[in-house]
Structure 1
């Protein structure tokens, strides 16, 4: 009688996924999705998108450092910058799955198109995770805008990110 192979045995390949985004800055909503992915996968890559046509508030290096700090407790999260097609990032690292959070139906239309394109280009699957209702309205852009006008965003960001945001806005 044969026994099924232990899914965590040394012969099993690591289950990898990527959580892509600009993360300018990383919010509690982002962290919710990353944390949930880290419980489902052996390795989770956070791919910080480099968009040379957009000037972010935080540099790519600052974003990576903040994400590394706030995800350190998970132990299986790697943070890297990427430029170009996400499917190429996935191919280079043998990542078969993209994990995306969905806040609303409006997100679904765009994300479904992207998922279908990515799958057609490379066979990479996209898994949609419904956002925690607490963060369903949350975006980095909205956080920055509210903070620029003096609004309280402390409940929307990890403390280290909140401090970095305050410092960055004070420099402007």
Structure 2
């Protein structure tokens, strides 16, 4: 199952607003990865979300104990596109799979709300893998109300 996906666009806000309209959801700013990003939230029980980054955004692996970040690049080997997917495997099984494939992987706690395993497919495309425990954190924490609270705490006026 899919929780969220990211894309890039020339007008991230407009694209997020149109997707949100199609879902009957909401569009809100999404600043954690790169400035100018927006997201469309379906408001469903899966917390389905499309993150929309500025055109040309590339996700890059951060060194050490830090989250991946977005930078504006030349649309080379990296991109803004990533997936957050569910697995019934445990953390150790996912780590073993990554080791077998020779792909970088590390545990990250997104915004102090939910954990993911950042799995870098072929060393260049990120998939956030959520174990059953991480899925429960995601579903409990990523709500429209919670995101609006985050934006308010960050001094950003959420969209109506």
Question: Which structure shows the bigger proportion of residues in strand conformation?
Answer: 2
Same fold flag (TM > 0.5): no
Task: Compare CA radii of gyration and give the structure with the larger one.
Answer: 1
TM-score range, shorter chain: under 0.3
